[in-house]
Amino acid sequence: MVGPLLTTKLHAPRRRRGLVARARLLEQLSRGDEAVLTLVSAPAGFGKTTLLTEWLAAAGRPSTAWLALDQRDDDPVLFLTYLLSALQRAAQEVGGKALTRLQEPHASIDEVLAILVNELDALEDDIVLVLDDYHVVSARDVHEAMTFLLEHSPSRMHLVIATRADPALPLSRLRARGELVEVRADDLRFTADEAAAYLNEAMGLALTAEQVVALEARTEGWIAALQLAALSLKGRDDVAGFIAGFAGDDRYIVDYLIQEVLQRQPEHVRRFLLQTSVLERLSGSLCDAVTGGDGGKATLQALDGENLFLVRLDDRRHWYRYHHLFADVLQAHLRDEWPDQIADLHRRASAWFERNGERSEAIRHALAAADHARAADLVELAIPELGQGRQEATLRRWMEALPEELFEARPVLSAGYVGALMSTGDVEGVEARLRDAERWLDRTAPSADMIVADDEAWGRLPAQIAMYRAGHALVHGDVAGSMGHARRALELAGPDDHLGRGGPAAILGLAYWTTGDLDAAHRWYAEGMASLDEGGYRSDVIGGAITLADIRIAQGRLREAMRTYQQGLQRAQQCDPPLRGAADMHVGMSQLLLERNDLEAARHHLRRSQELGDHGGLPKNPYRRRLAMARLHQLDGDIEGALELLDEAERWYNSDFSPDVQPIPAVRARMWIAHGRLESALHWAREHGLSADDDLDYVGEYEHITLARALLAQHAASRDLDPVDQATGLLERLLHAAQDGGRTGSVLEILVLQALACQALADVPAAEAALRRALTLAEPEGYVRIFVDEGLPMASLLRAAATREIASGYVRRLLAAIDATQHDGPIHQDALVEPLSKRELDVLRLLGTELDGPEIARELFVSLNTVRTHTRNIYAKLGVNNRRAAVRRAADLNLLSPAPQR
Amino acid sequence: MSASPVGRPDGSPWYEIRLKGRLDPRWAAWFDGLSVTTTVDGTTALRGPVTDQAALHGLLQKVRDLGVPLLSVTPLDPEQPRPPTA
């Protein structure tokens, strides 16, 4: 965070004396204790905040977390930091773990939210979370985070939102479920009785009934207006005349009344009010800095005493703010009367905040002063901190507020912009900013035209830019260029610059992977991860295990791949809850276990991954998990389900900088081939312009092996010799390429296919020779499915090998496995990784009704906790995270149709 | 967005934002230089060029924040900046 956490934002404002009792509204609010969300939605000045503070001050209320939002919180990381801090103040046991995770470099928002939901779930007592001024939030990320919280809302948490505009949350859904309590403008308006109570009792004005009615009618019960009217009336002799004049006027009420109030202030107070209206928070010292006076503190206390415009932000009467409505009106007066002063006022505020260590406020005021040079300096100095805290949204907003031409002379700022763009996955604009920065690097002598605020960052700039260049080139498919830049970045980075060394080394590893040089790829990538590990980037290191294991698998080193996943899992589990990436490790282990034909264990790991959810996974996990599930479905005989999962996997595909060495369309083509849909597979090959004469490269290897499979299948179907000839030639070339690259995993598969091709051509010795080589490579690593998946043709080859006593124990195991596949029918509820128990099906059926949790428990004669456990299991098995999705998925899978009589 | 008004080639589209109550002319600066015209029927019209939809929403947000009731938003023909008589 740039600047300290403002604890004033976490204080519910002090309750004012002399309020009107609003029993009807308090009763309405108390219904919120049963609802998920209470929405207090009305324009400014309708007493939303006051009502809430009064409600919360009542005795016996559950503990409350209060968060007053402002424009800066339109950044998901900042928003969550405040939200979690607010919760933690209210209940010590909540928010701590989530906050720790949020501070972990490169942790994800989803993950933090999931941890928060768990923490809330464990709460013993109710907690109320109030978000005041929610209308300032426009970032979709923030709305999505809140929607997630609402949809997973544990019963202990009640959310209260006060806002001037209805928020972008699923309100109609909540309303339909009766989970929304609303208090709107018409509820909040003062009734005639309340107006009378306020004016006469609270403000002590002694007005007649007619006068009260006149004021109530003119203001339409708008509380801010009545309040101003009361202030104007205080100490006035001609009350009747004022009310008549006000009631007969159709000017904007606040204009009229503030004019009245301002006119009655001494000139120095009037000046103070207008000048300090540019501030979002007021303290004596800040006001003095902005006005150039010295009585700030006394003036604030006097205004507070007169109940004039101010809201107290803390108990010590140190920080205040103006009521928003009045601040706007005061600013309008300021712009009208002293337009030339405004920039200076902001500039002085910026300087005060900089001196007091609040850089982000200093930047805001510098931008408001249009002092772009000052803002640019401050932003540049804030870059390292914002980058580490992943506040790219804030950084980008500031960068975008600065004029384009300002970047030309500021290389460090330009490079910071590149970093913000690339980490948000935005490559547009990167090239221009890189060029801006690079122009200055080429100079031999320092130039007077160049502007650098952060000298330390200037020293790191050449290495940093080379790293960005390397990443940028890799994304654009320029592998050689990427390698060159990455090497240069490594040369330039200091020995202790962990990110500066780890980043380019990892990029170099990925570039080598793309070329198919797997030894170099593994070496560089592992070195990169070691540097990142030293720098404390744990999440990135765990994610790196996926790449390292992928490379090992391509090398045919399944045991090492397994060890890599196990270590990754261990690392992830050293934290509680496990770090993001644990889910990915389970998926990887599941795939390896599946190859070993240990389907039970494979299912188990996939289930663990599913339980951790996609939010417990890295960017690749959603697609990798679906890919792994598709394989299991295929083995269970559910081809349609498997193909659907592949479609889903394709939608979730995320390369995350890795080469796409196993494209999903090719995986689908293999599935088609294995299940007799040869035409579709051949169509895929034509569409991708694949032919047996293509030049070969590693990135296309999987597709070319798939083509060879299609050709062999074509021969099997037609007995035509041409396809098998083509396949033989292609396989021979693929074999050489794979051998040269040390890709034993590919070699193995190619040998299996060669054996089958020779068998089809009745060349028994050649078939046997290929098979023998494959068996020798496969046995030590425990491969099974690579043979078993070929079914009966492979069985006859293996039987022949067995008679010649080649690797006989291993061959017998493979034959037994093939035998077993021939008798297995599809399992029940075959679309599920793990079938639902009978009890779970009962609960699922009731989830599809209107019954709530306690009612379901009564219906089934079990405790609510038991229902919760069943529900959790059902969600995990169905791969969903809420009731609606569970019912929908159940309907899709036809799980709720009447059970067959047995 | 065929319904959005077409501005002059050199300028932005024009809009009229009509509010309930008479607003002091000093608000012109607050509303980014739109003209502030009050009428005898007790309403106020803010008129002028608005860069794009985002700017229009920004203006509406300012209206919201003042608690002034919003009556209408009408695109104008910049050649004749008066709302079409319906």
What's B68's domain CATH number?
3.30.70
**A384 pLDDT above the threshold of 60:** yes
- Per residue in A275-303, pLDDT tens? 999 999 999 999 999 999 999 999 999 88
Burial class from Cβ neighbours inside 10 Å (0-12, 13-18, 19+) for residue A126 reads middle
**A387 pLDDT above the threshold of 90:** no
* Inter-chain CB proximity B21 and A328 less than 8 Å: no
User: Facing residues of A132 across strands?
Assistant: A68
Tell the residue number behind the tokens 């060669």, with chain if given.
A754
pLDDT band at B59 (very low <50, low <70, confident <90, very high): very high
Contacts of B29 in chain A (CB under 8 A): 332, 335-336, 339
What tokens appear for A441 in the block? 């690097």
Contact A195, A214 (CB under 8 A): no
Q: Is A59 helix (H, G, I), strand (E, B) or coil?
A: coil
Integer CA distances (angstroms), A385 to A298, A416, A743, A879, B53, in order: 37, 11, 42, 37, 34
Is residue A500, in this structure, part of any structural domain at all?
A: no
Q: For A44-55, what is the mean pLDDT?
A: 89
Contact A351, A289 (CB under 8 A): yes
Q: Which of A136-150, A218-232, A693-707 has the highest mean pLDDT?
A: A693-707
Q: Is A330 helix (H, G, I), strand (E, B) or coil?
A: helix
Integer CA distances (angstroms), A121 to A130, A157, A184, A873, in order: 18, 9, 30, 16
The three-state (H, E, C) secondary structure of A514-555, written as one string: HHCCHHHHHHHHHHHHHHHHHCCCHHHHHHHHHHHHHHHHHC
**A338 pLDDT above the threshold of 50:** yes
What tokens appear for A151 in the block? 């949809």
Q: Is A692 helix (H, G, I), strand (E, B) or coil?
A: coil
**B83 pLDDT above the threshold of 80:** no
Q: For A55-61, what is the mean pLDDT?
A: 78
* Inter-chain CB proximity A250 and B42 less than 8 Å: yes
Burial class from Cβ neighbours inside 10 Å (0-12, 13-18, 19+) for residue A767 reads buried
Q: What is the DSSP string of B3-51?
A: TSPPPPTTSPPEEEEEEESBPPTTHHHHTTT-EEEE-TTSEEEEEEE--
Q: How many CB atoms lie within 10 A of CB A8?
A: 17
Q: For A768-788, what is the mean pLDDT?
A: 94
Contacts of B30 in chain A (CB under 8 A): 328, 331-332, 335
Q: Count CA atoms within 13 Å of residue A892 on its CB side.
A: 15
Q: What is the pLDDT of residue A145?
A: 92
Measured torsion, CA atoms of residues A453, A456, A458, A459, in degrees rounded to the nearest 10: 160
Comparing alpha-carbon positions, the chain A residue that sits nearest to B63 is A43
Sequence-distant (≥ 6) Cβ neighbours of residue A271 within 8 angstroms: A291
The span from the CA of A429 to the CA of A798, in Å, is 58
Q: Which of A203-207, A305-309, A462-466 has the highest mean pLDDT?
A: A462-466
pLDDT band at A466 (very low <50, low <70, confident <90, very high): very high
Q: For A167-192, what is the mean pLDDT?
A: 91
Sequence-distant (≥ 6) Cβ neighbours of residue A879 within 8 angstroms: A610, A889
Q: What is the pLDDT of residue B16?
A: 95
Q: What is the pLDDT of residue A394?
A: 85
Integer CA distances (angstroms), A268 to A58, A277, A678, A842, in order: 40, 14, 88, 75
- Per residue in A590-614, pLDDT tens? 999 999 999 999 999 999 888 887 6
What tokens appear for A793 in the block? 């043709």
**A750 pLDDT above the threshold of 80:** yes
- Per residue in B31-58, pLDDT tens? 888 999 998 888 999 999 998 898 999 8
Contacts of B26 in chain A (CB under 8 A): 332-333, 335-336
Within an 8 Å CB–CB cutoff, is residue B54 touching chain A?
A: no
Q: Is A867 helix (H, G, I), strand (E, B) or coil?
A: helix
Within an 8 Å CB–CB cutoff, is residue B12 touching chain A?
A: no
* A29 and A174 within one domain: yes
Q: What is the pLDDT of residue A334?
A: 93
* A215 and A170 within one domain: no
Where is pLDDT greater, at A584 or A308? A584
* A84 and A171 within one domain: yes
Q: Tell me, what DSSP letter sits at residue B85? A: P
Nearest chain B CA: its distance from A245 CA (Å): 15
* A249 and A179 within one domain: no
Nearest chain B CA: its distance from A51 CA (Å): 18
Is residue B86, in this structure, part of any structural domain at all?
A: no
Q: What is the pLDDT of residue A388?
A: 67
- Per residue in A359-378, pLDDT tens? 999 999 999 999 999 999 99
Last residue of a domain, one of A146, A163, A188: A188
Contact A502, A532 (CB under 8 A): yes
* A203 and A165 within one domain: no
The span from the CA of A509 to the CA of A506, in Å, is 5
Is residue B2, in this structure, part of any structural domain at all?
A: no
User: What is the distance, to the nearest Å, from the Cα of residue A845 to the centroid of all Cα atoms in its chain?
Assistant: 32
* A119 and A44 within one domain: yes
Identify the weakest region by mean pLDDT among A9-13, A52-56, A406-410, A715-719.
A9-13
**A538 pLDDT above the threshold of 90:** no
What tokens appear for A781 in the block? 């690593």
The two beta strands, B14-20 and A63-68, are unpaired
Is residue A54, in this structure, part of any structural domain at all?
A: yes
Sequence-distant (≥ 6) Cβ neighbours of residue A245 within 8 angstroms: none
Domain of residue A175, CATH code: 3.40.50.300
Q: What are phi and psi of A525, to 5 degrees?
A: -65, -40
* A89 and A175 within one domain: yes
- Per residue in A20-38, pLDDT tens? 888 889 889 888 777 889 9
**A863 pLDDT above the threshold of 80:** no
- Per residue in A790-803, pLDDT tens? 988 999 999 988 88
User: Facing residues of B20 across strands?
Assistant: B43
Nearest chain B CA: its distance from A289 CA (Å): 25
Is residue A770, in this structure, part of any structural domain at all?
A: no
What element of type H or E holds A84? Answer: helix A76-90
Q: Count CA atoms within 13 Å of residue A17 on its CB side.
A: 6
Nearest chain A CA: its distance from B31 CA (Å): 9
Nearest chain B CA: its distance from A341 CA (Å): 14
**A879 pLDDT above the threshold of 70:** yes
Contacts of A333 in chain B (CB under 8 A): 26
* Inter-chain CB proximity A325 and B21 less than 8 Å: no
pLDDT band at A59 (very low <50, low <70, confident <90, very high): low
Sequence-distant (≥ 6) Cβ neighbours of residue A370 within 8 angstroms: A343
* A126 and A255 within one domain: no
Last residue of a domain, one of A188, A221, A244: A188
The span from the CA of A787 to the CA of A773, in Å, is 13
CB proximity under 8 Å: B 21-50 to A: 21-24, 26-27, 29-30, 42, 44
Contacts of A253 in chain B (CB under 8 A): 21
Q: What are phi and psi of A250, to 5 degrees?
A: -115, 25
pLDDT band at B86 (very low <50, low <70, confident <90, very high): very low
Expressed as residue numbers, the domain containing B26 is 14-76
User: Facing residues of A131 across strands?
Assistant: A67, A161
Expressed as residue numbers, the domain containing A115 is 7-188
Is residue A15, in this structure, part of any structural domain at all?
A: yes
Is residue B61, in this structure, part of any structural domain at all?
A: yes
* A246 and A109 within one domain: no
Backbone conformation region of residue A791, classed left if phi is above 0, alpha if psi is from -120 to 50, else beta: left
- Per residue in A650-697, pLDDT tens? 988 887 778 889 999 999 999 999 998 999 999 999 999 999 999 999
Contacts of B32 in chain A (CB under 8 A): none
Within an 8 Å CB–CB cutoff, is residue B55 touching chain A?
A: no
- What does the mean pLDDT of chain B come to? 81
What tokens appear for A654 in the block? 């995320």
Tell the residue number behind the tokens 């104007």, with chain if given.
A232
Q: What is the pLDDT of residue B4?
A: 44
**A565 pLDDT above the threshold of 80:** yes
Q: For A607-629, what is the mean pLDDT?
A: 84
Instruction: Please tell me the total count of domains within chain B.
Output: 1
Q: What is the pLDDT of residue B85?
A: 46
Q: What is the pLDDT of residue A446?
A: 63
Q: What is the pLDDT of residue A823?
A: 57
Is residue A20, in this structure, part of any structural domain at all?
A: yes
* A256 and A116 within one domain: no
A43, A165, A250 member nearest B67 (Cβ) = A43
- Per residue in A191-239, pLDDT tens? 989 999 999 988 888 899 999 999 999 898 999 889 888 888 887 888 8
Q: Which of A578, A557, A577, A561 is nearest to A569 (CA)?
A: A578
**B1 pLDDT above the threshold of 60:** no
Identify the weakest region by mean pLDDT among A243-247, A446-450, A623-627, A853-857.
A446-450
Contact A170, A150 (CB under 8 A): yes
* A34 and A132 within one domain: yes
Is residue A351, in this structure, part of any structural domain at all?
A: no
pLDDT band at A825 (very low <50, low <70, confident <90, very high): very low
The span from the CA of A878 to the CA of A197, in Å, is 58
Q: What is the pLDDT of residue A833?
A: 65
**A902 pLDDT above the threshold of 50:** no
Contact A92, A77 (CB under 8 A): no
Q: What are phi and psi of A442, to 5 degrees?
A: -70, -20
Contact A631, A670 (CB under 8 A): no
Is residue B7, in this structure, part of any structural domain at all?
A: no
- What does the mean pLDDT of chain A come to? 88
* A157 and A87 within one domain: yes
Is residue B85, in this structure, part of any structural domain at all?
A: no
Domain of residue A888, CATH code: 1.10.10.10
What element of type H or E holds A276? Answer: helix A267-276
- Per residue in B9-23, pLDDT tens? 457 899 999 999 898
Instruction: Please tell me the total count of domains within chain A.
Output: 3
**A782 pLDDT above the threshold of 80:** yes
Q: What is the pLDDT of residue B78?
A: 67
